[in-house]
Amino acid sequence: MWYRLLQIKQSNTELTARVTTDRGSPWFAGHFPGTPILPGVAQLGMVADLISRFSKDDLYISGLSRVKFKKLINPGELLSIHVFPGRKENSRSFRIEAGGEVCTGIIMLENKEKQRL
């Protein structure tokens, strides 16, 4: 895995994780040479992975809303990911932090088994 899960907590209303990115990740090798940053798609992937881990379902991202990237993430940076129930079925609000907000938005996830039917 290209990031390390250091800590994870779940309450009735929030899922929180602390992760760090691997400096040797291919994400950083190609994005951008000389000034590596973590692409937005990788950030969204971490959020989806975290939700899938606790739902015990094989989920895929079916939609995104109000996603804002506010700060660059450098290799090895310590991140906090916070996930909350969304207003609509299968949606979650999320926030990624690293010394302030990095990324926020709403992510919709669907079960891959439903997609096959």
Query: Taking Cα atoms as reference points, which of 45, 41, 58 lies closest to residue 19?
Result: 45
Which positions are catalytic?
Answer: 31
Residue type at 83 in one-letter notation? V
Question: CA–CA separation, 58 vs 109, rounded Å?
Answer: 10
Query: Taking Cα atoms as reference points, which of 90, 94, 86, 85 lies closest to residue 112?
Result: 90
Question: CA–CA separation, 61 vs 64, rounded Å?
Answer: 8
